[in-house]
Amino acid sequence: MKDLKTSGRAKTARITLRLHQDTKEKWLLHCTNSNVHLSDYIINSVEGKLLDNDRKEIMNFIENQVNIFAKIENNINQIARYINSKKDFPSSLLSEYNSKLEILNNLKIEQNRIIKKIYTELAK
């Protein structure tokens, strides 16, 4: 549980909400499943901030994306090594290979743009 002090200030203000019991139970269930306190859930939702568990999930997703591209790049290096050792590669196959590399490069550029945008949002 986090300390009640934030930036040297104690949390002393209270807000009372009236809502239906089933709504409260639904919120509590969501918080239990997300491993977050109800007050943190409400505050972050109102302020438009990400919850810590959402932040971790996003970081795991980014890490997985990076790992996928690392595997692809490794495969590309293996293919290039094979091509260099054979010294004979059909031009049609080389053309297709280059077009796939161009598509992959465009995907990598798009991924980097999205990751940069996500990091900007996470920093808020």
pLDDT averaged over the chain?
A: 81
Q: What is the pTM of this model?
A: 0.49
- Are 11 and 29 contained in the same domain? yes
State which residues form the domain around 93. Answer: 52-122
Q: What is the domain count for the chain?
A: 2
CA atoms in the 13 A half-sphere facing the CB of 62:
16
CB contact at 8 A, 37 and 48:
no
- Are 31 and 60 contained in the same domain? no
Q: Quick one: pLDDT band at residue 124, thresholds 50, 70, 90?
A: low
> What does the block give as tokens for 71?
């595997």
Rg (CA), the chain: 24
Spatial separation of the C-alpha atoms in residues 8 and 19, rounded to whole Å: 32
- Are 71 and 37 contained in the same domain? no
Residues 71-115 pLDDT 10s:
888 888 888 788 788 777 778 877 888 888 888 888 888 888 888
